[in-house]
Amino acid sequence: MLKQISRMKRANKYVLVIFAGLMGLSLVFFYAPSRNQGLASAASNNEVLARVRGDEVTVGDLNRQKEAYQQQFGGQISLAQLGLNDRSMLNGMIRGKIVAQEAERLGLAASDAEVAAKIREQFKDPSGKFVGIERYRDSVTARFGSVARFEDALRDEIAAEKLRAFVTAGVTVGEKEVEEDWRRKNTVFDLTYAAVSADKLAARFEPSEEELQKYFEEHKAEFRFLEPQKKIRYLFIDQNKAGAKLNISDADLRAAYDQIKPENKVAGVKAQQIVLKVADPKLDATVLEKATRLAAELRGGGASLVVPAEKFAEVARGNSEDPATARNGGWLPAPVRQRQGSKDPAVQQVFQLVEGQINDPVKYGDTYYIFRRGESIEKTFEEAKPELLVSQRNTRGYRAAAELAARVAARLKETKDFQKVAQEFAAEANMTPAEMIRETPFVKPGDNVPNIGSNPTFEEAIKPLENAGDIGDRVAISNGFAVPALVEKREPRIPDLSEVREQVVGRVRQERARSQLEETAKELANAATPAALKAAAEKLGLKTATLPQYRISTPIEEAGTSPEADEAILALKEGEVSRRPVKMGDTWLVVAADKRKDPDPTEFAAQRDQLTESMLSTRRSNVFEDYVAEVKARLERENQIRINEDVLKRAGTADALEAPDLP
């Protein structure tokens, strides 16, 4: 996982971005000289986005940070894929300003000696020695623009670390709370549960005509049609059927293949891997430490972005625990293809890398992986041919359907005769006249129209139709084109019950269900055993589900998680049903423990130090974030943080570096 923390420097006003590795190793990526004049202009834009106690954040600062991200990922991942946008990045930069200002206020600035020590720590060769001034200067200048910029950023990073240490110095954890937290997290249940929601209960109720009429009379105004309703008849041209008649030759497909950009012809990539297995959960930290050390050595102590294939192969032969690939230098036997929902998700990591780059160690199952992305493998014409045929048929079918729909519209306006026009064009459309002529019920803007859906384009096309018989122009709809005509129009009004019957039935069912949710859940909680809970739920028309090997804080299907549910589950003995249903959002949950397995106390003793440090680290992080949040809230109350919303909206237009579409 990559975590991004943005901080602003006090003097030069550049953005600090730390990419935190799995063992706390960090690389700071900053703006490097832009590759074209447009990017240079964006990076030098001095429009003020925000002010924090007098310090400014500019559009140029934001664009430099975007450029830094794109350089890190080689343009293969967009900011959106990282969960980032202009607003979130600006918030991070404001947070960085606050942290830097607080460190300065408390006298926690970094000394030259501390900066030098940090540099020597980050830029080591495989033997652990400093890489040397020349190599350090060349690397930093090439990647960050200048040594001064990098060292100013590092100075702020150190100051922020000192502020965090200062704020969290008094944070402690006790052994008893560590052990209790460990017990909570490691008690394992086989659960049976029933989720009682209004949607599930509603289907049980069949309201009478009297109930429906009474509800409708009491809520008539809520069902009022505020927009005119229109019934539309239209001639439909199916683009798939129109396209099915088209003859697409191999020569046409070859020409389309030749026009595909090289980056979109990628069939897969060659990849190398280093596999480190965790034989015992107690050894997880040790294996992770080894994996992180190997990754650092491959990168030359953090100073290298691209790792040569032979260097990776040497390390794989000596360390990888997958014999089949280790003896071949870590090379996988076949190119890796990008697939959603792959059965081997670990190797999909290579698609987040640029050629020659390696990932931070990532764990899947009981194994840590380090991957190196090799060269891309191009799809052959024969491999691409099926996709090209579908694409060409869709494209040409759309054009053919669009051209045919234009002629159909002209002819319909001339004749006003749906049946005649449908018969004239049916053969060319590859459809029957009956398939071409369609009619909607009375619809208004926002309705889900049969065969069309909720379609603003269709709504705009029928908007000018005011009189019965008015014919509109062709309009694109799902799977083709429509030529619409107005059959009848109804003005805004309160409808009859028959027109909104389905909505009224749904409302009545929901209200009755909501009124009985808690009562139903309490009835289920009277069950004596998990089997009895299942039987009681089935009697009420509800379903139960099981969760084997469940640990607290794990989401329970659609209900999610809650502290109340955790406490109810932890209190269960084996074979018990919780006597107290738990409300989670709009759902009531009744849980039962088929089995319960408490953790072995001797395992805690072996993990005590590691668990204590983990809880202490989490608590310190929470305390520090609370501190920063409080400072930010105070500055906002004092109106010392100001964001220029107009400039922020415009800043997005300079966002030029999006990841290319992957094939």
Position of tokens 């991942």?
Answer: 77
pLDDT at 44: 65
Which amino acid makes up residue 394? N
Q: What is the DSSP letter of 321?
A: S
Q: Report CA-CA distances (Å) from 547 to 75, 287, 496.
A: 41, 30, 47
- Is residue 29 exposed (0-12), middle (13-18) or buried (19+ Cβ within 10 Å)? buried
Q: Rounded to an integer, what is the distance from CA 499 to the centroid of its chain?
A: 40
User: In the chain, what are the helix, strand and coil shares in percent, each to the nearest 5?
Assistant: 50, 20, 30
Identify the bridge partners of residue 632 per DSSP, sorted by sequence position: none
The pTM score is: 0.51
**In this structure, are strands 641-643 and 48-52 parallel, antiparallel, or unpaired?**
antiparallel
3-class secondary-structure state, position 618: helix
Which two three-digit tokens encode residue 379? 């799809």
Contact assessment for residue 355 and residue 246, using Cβ atoms and an 8 Å cutoff: no
pLDDT at 78: 64
Contact assessment for residue 233 and residue 489, using Cβ atoms and an 8 Å cutoff: no
Q: What is the DSSP letter of 364?
A: E
Q: Which segments of 370-470 does DSSP mark as H helices, in order?
A: 381-415, 418-429, 433-436, 456-462
Q: Report CA-CA distances (Å) from 125 to 128, 131, 299.
A: 5, 5, 9
Helix axes 601-637, 147-167, angle to 10 degrees: 110
Contact assessment for residue 534 and residue 260, using Cβ atoms and an 8 Å cutoff: no
For residue 420, how many C-alpha atoms fall within 13 Å in the half-sphere facing its CB?
8
Query: Considering Cα of 180, then 181, then 186, then 191, what sign does the dihedral take?
Result: positive
Distance (Å, rounded) from C-alpha 105 to C-alpha 160?
Answer: 12
Residue 583 dihedral angles phi and psi, to the nearest 5°: -90, 125
First to last CA, the chain: 24
What dihedral angle (degrees, nearest 10) is formed by the CA atoms of 405, 408, 413, 415?
A: -170
3-class secondary-structure state, position 584: strand
Identify the bridge partners of residue 641 per DSSP, sorted by sequence position: 52
CA angle at 583 for the pair 581 and 584, rounded to the nearest 5°: 130
Distance (Å, rounded) from C-alpha 553 to C-alpha 537?
Answer: 24
Q: Report CA-CA distances (Å) from 58 to 50, 219, 403, 647, 651.
A: 7, 53, 50, 9, 10
Distance (Å, rounded) from C-alpha 430 to C-alpha 240?
Answer: 9
Which amino acid makes up residue 6? S
User: Residue 208's CB: how many other CB atoms inside 10 A?
Assistant: 9
Helix (H) or strand (E) holding 316: helix 309-319
- Is residue 205 exposed (0-12), middle (13-18) or buried (19+ Cβ within 10 Å)? middle
Nearest to 258 by CA among 377, 375, 388: 388
Distance (Å, rounded) from C-alpha 384 to C-alpha 394?
Answer: 15
Contact assessment for residue 581 and residue 590, using Cβ atoms and an 8 Å cutoff: yes
User: Residue 324's CB: how many other CB atoms inside 10 A?
Assistant: 10
Which two three-digit tokens encode residue 99? 């942290």
Distance (Å, rounded) from C-alpha 123 to C-alpha 119?
Answer: 6
Max Cα separation, the chain?
90
Distance (Å, rounded) from C-alpha 143 to C-alpha 164?
Answer: 28
Q: What is the DSSP letter of 497?
A: G
Helix (H) or strand (E) holding 302: none
* Segments of the chain scoring below 50 in pLDDT: 1-40, 303, 340-342, 653-663
Find the length of the chain: 663
Q: What is the DSSP letter of 355?
A: T
Q: Please give the full DSSP string across 221-239, using - where no structure is assigned.
A: GGG-B-S-EEEEEEEEEEH
User: Residue 344's CB: how many other CB atoms inside 10 A?
Assistant: 9
Residue 655 dihedral angles phi and psi, to the nearest 5°: -80, 95
Sheet containing strand 582-584, edge to edge, reads: 544-550, 188-197, 587-597, 582-584
Contact assessment for residue 193 and residue 584, using Cβ atoms and an 8 Å cutoff: no
**In this structure, are strands 188-197 and 587-597 parallel, antiparallel, or unpaired?**
antiparallel
pLDDT at 6: 32
pLDDT at 2: 25
- Residues 246-304 have pLDDT tens digits of 778 888 788 887 887 776 676 788 999 999 999 888 888 889 999 988 998 898 755 45
pLDDT at 301: 56
Nearest to 64 by CA among 15, 25, 120: 15
Distance (Å, rounded) from C-alpha 384 to C-alpha 470?
Answer: 46
**In this structure, are strands 475-477 and 266-277 parallel, antiparallel, or unpaired?**
unpaired
pLDDT at 635: 95
